[in-house]
Amino acid sequence: MQHRPFTALAAVYDAIMADVEYDHWADFVLTYARDGGLEGGAALDLACGTGGFTRELHGAGWTVTGLDGSADMLEVARGRLPGAVRLTVGDLRTFDLGRTFDLVSCVFDSLNNLLTPEDLGAALGRARAHLRPGGLLACDLNTRLGVRELWEGGAVEGLATTPDGREVHYHWSHHHDPETDLGIVQAFCRVEDGGGGWDEFTETHRERGYDPADLEPLVRAAGFTRWEIVEYPDFARPTPETPRVWVFAWA
């Protein structure tokens, strides 16, 4: 059965993504923040999903708010995050929380789900509007190369186990559509239903790649005063072969 992106997937997302290094990403971001004189405060984690990165920020002593477009993903996040973390549904392009933050983050190529430069620019503008003077935006994006060549062989598959012990079989296939310049992922999952049977679903996810040359004018137009675009984990300058970049932009 076909579902909208990040709906049915929410129930098995953490099982499939158990190896994602949110802790290392948080160290990377917070090291950059500290080197820039930002030691702590209030953080807004955009496209927070089930809260993997959000939890790392909270554990590092930040007061954290998480925002995501999927109520299903946030429902899972509420079950794994402390009550002190505020969670809200919102659109990256239009959200308005009525307050500002010291740090705004958006990780795991979530911004690539915005399929036009106009939509990405709108999201960067909303991030900037929610930063205090001297605050930092930290986000990562797949480059055009990264979206074209997402996985070697064009697919990933495997077995995972949910926290309640159900087995998940997943097969995710990827292709690049040259006509639209989009990467398209068909995410198929087969999940034990707890009664001896299986539930199956498919979600279709689309991403657009953005190179540094695409990002710089959007960051500038969003009103940031200075920024760097670097590689993980060594903060090196990107090359034409870089599949994913990190943007650090100061308000």
Query: What is the β-pairing status of strands 2-3 and 86-89?
Result: unpaired
Residue 193, pLDDT score: 87
CA 250 to CA 225: how far, in whole Å? 6
Cα distances from 42 to residues 37, 60, 87, 127, 241, in angstroms, run 14, 11, 14, 14, 35
7 and 125 belong to one structural domain = yes
What lies within 8 Å, CB to CB, of 102 at 6+ separation is: 38, 40, 41, 42, 43, 131, 132, 134, 135, 136
124 and 29 belong to one structural domain = yes
37 and 110 belong to one structural domain = yes
Helices 117-129, 212-221: axis angle to 10 degrees equals 50
Q: What is the CATH number of the domain that holds 201?
A: 2.20.25.110
What lies within 8 Å, CB to CB, of 182 at 6+ separation is: 115, 147, 176, 206, 207, 208
162 and 88 belong to one structural domain = no
Q: Measured in whole angstroms, how far is the alpha carbon of residue 109 from the centre of its chain?
A: 5
Q: How many CB atoms lie within 10 A of CB 110?
A: 23
158 and 102 belong to one structural domain = no
Q: What is the CATH number of the domain that holds 228?
A: 3.40.50.150
222 and 119 belong to one structural domain = yes
Residue 195, pLDDT score: 83
Residue 13: helix, strand or coil by DSSP?
helix
Q: Do residues 251 and 225 lie in contact, with contact meaning Cβ atoms separated by under 8 Å?
A: yes
Structure token pair of residue 234 = 């060594």
17 and 122 belong to one structural domain = yes
Domain boundary among 208, 224, 242: 208
Largest separation between any pair of C-alpha atoms in the chain = 57
119 and 136 belong to one structural domain = yes
190 and 213 belong to one structural domain = no
57 and 163 belong to one structural domain = no
Read off the amino acid at residue 62.
W
The tally of domains found in the chain comes to: 2
User: CA dihedral in degrees (110, 111, 112, 117; nearest 10)?
Assistant: 170
Whether this prediction's pTM lies above 0.95 is answered by: yes
What string of pLDDT tens digits covers the 251 residues of the chain?
Answer: 899 999 999 999 999 999 999 999 999 999 999 999 999 999 999 999 999 999 999 999 999 999 999 999 999 999 999 898 999 999 999 999 999 999 999 999 999 999 999 999 999 999 999 999 999 999 999 999 999 999 988 999 999 999 889 999 999 999 999 999 999 999 999 999 888 889 999 999 999 999 999 999 999 999 999 999 999 999 999 999 999 999 999 99
109: closest CA among 70, 69, 141, 147? Answer: 141
**Which domain, by its residues, includes 124?**
2-144+209-250
φ and ψ of 130, to 5 deg: -100, 10
Sign of CA pseudo-dihedral 217, 219, 225, 227: negative
Residue 196, pLDDT score: 83
Backbone Cα Rg of the chain: 18
Structure token pair of residue 204 = 């279709």
75 and 140 belong to one structural domain = yes
230 and 175 belong to one structural domain = no
